[in-house]
Structure 1
Amino acid sequence: MFLVEWLYGILAMLGLAAKEAKILFLGLDNAGKTTLLHMLKDERLAQHQPTQFPTSEELMIGKIKFTAFDLGGHRMARRVWRDYYAKVDAVVYIVDAADKERFLESKIELDALLGDETLANVPFLVLGNKIDIPYAASEDELRYHLGLANCTTGKGRIDYSNTNIRPIELFMCSIVRKMGYGDGFRWLSQYIK
């Protein structure tokens, strides 16, 4: 065991070892959290039952090994979200861009997350999912409804290490069409320490 840890330490110093991260997949029920988790895990699209209990998966994306937690999004599940905030490296907040009637509810939950002191320095990737549906909100419309119009930090590579600015950005995607979320995870990976 010591040899493995020593070797991993050497590889990490050389920048060759994978980083490890704890990421929470949050959002209202039916936003696509479980679908995304399984798409990232085995690139398969399947029908999923609503998440009743927190689940986790180990994923490797680029040079980052993620432990991703899908905590569910129904009202009862949202009560346990806080139990998972400790030592989290990032939050992926997924919104159903086609369910405009729930934008306010989604904004309230996102605002609560962004206002929580435990998550004050945690980068947030917001994914506007289901853009393959013709009546889905545009990126500008979703930014407006989520209150993100003037507080996202940009999609490029920006160094926030010497500031108190929390990286937060919105990416539009279609998980079922396998588009958009890759750009979001590439953006997020630059802030995983």
Structure 2
Amino acid sequence: MGQLIAKLMRIFGSQEHKVIIVGLDNAGKTTILYQFLINEVVHTCSTIGSNAEEIALQKTWFLMWDLGGQEALLLLAPSGSSWDIYYSSTEFVILVIYSTDRNRNHPGAELCKMLAHEALQEASVLIFANKQDVKDSMNIVEISQFLTLSATKDHPWHIQGCCALTGEGLPAGLQWMQSQTTTN
């Protein structure tokens, strides 16, 4: 069925781009995925494994893989692992950050290691700074410093403030990704 959809999209001029959504547990990855899909909040529990959904923006299709964010998995797995399946053909990495948790170890070093994986060397990075509606959330500059994004020179990246519960900021992030498909 997936191959049929892909062929039809090619025939009618659509493009499909693979996206992986990563981040620590409780950051809002699954909530963001389902805001994209059905534009409403879905009550979730910790994702074990992954969720995959197709999201359309005009004639651009994104096949989004929401990867479980348990601390044990963190963002990174050694090469030769089952994560190679998720990384293969990935054009975009969405990293979801819990903007209000200043005490948590933000995954900047893991993101750098992940982006060094040979399958992700051409990937663009969208960081959703989630929970911006909460008082005292970190701003975009603070998050950029936590992730040491100034050192990320080989990958286009963008930080988008958002609130997964209301959907605020999510369309702008999706539009940034779409703009990257025309420049790549």
CA drift at 1:189: 1.1
Cα gap change, 1:81/1:181 in structure 2, threshold over 3 Å: closer, same or farther? Answer: farther
Q: Which residue of 2 aligns with 1:123?
A: 124
The answer as to 2:171 corresponding to 1:182 is yes
Q: Which residue of 2 aligns with 1:92?
A: 94
CA drift at 1:27: 0.8
Is this contact kept in 2: 1:71–1:77, CA < 8 A?
A: no
Distance 1:28 1:184 in 2: 19
Q: How does 1:41-120 map to 2 (within 5 A)?
A: 41-78=37-74, 79=77, 80-102=82-104, 104-120=105-121
Cα gap change, 1:143/1:7 in structure 2, threshold over 3 Å: closer, same or farther? Answer: closer
The Cα RMSD (Å) is 2.3
Displacement over 6 Å in runs of 4+: 4-7
- Report the AA paired with residue 117 of structure 2: D
Long gaps (5+) in structure 1: 12-16, 154-164
Q: Percent identity?
A: 27
TM-score by length of structure 2 reads 0.83
TM-score by length of structure 1 reads 0.79
1:170 to 153, 159, 162: 159
Long gaps (5+) in structure 2: none
CA drift at 1:62: 2.3
- Report the AA paired with residue 86 of structure 2: Y
Kindly tell me the number of residue pairs found equivalent between the two proteins.
172
Distance 1:145 1:180 in 2: 20
- Report the AA paired with residue 112 of structure 1: K
CA drift at 1:20: 0.8
Q: Which residue of 1 aligns with 2:148?
A: 147
Is this contact kept in 1: 2:112–2:152, CA < 8 A?
A: no
Question: SS of the residue aligned with 1:190?
Answer: helix
CA drift at 1:49: 0.5
Question: SS of the residue aligned with 1:45?
Answer: coil
- Report the AA paired with residue 90 of structure 1: F
CA drift at 1:7: 7.4
Question: SS of the residue aligned with 2:36?
Answer: helix
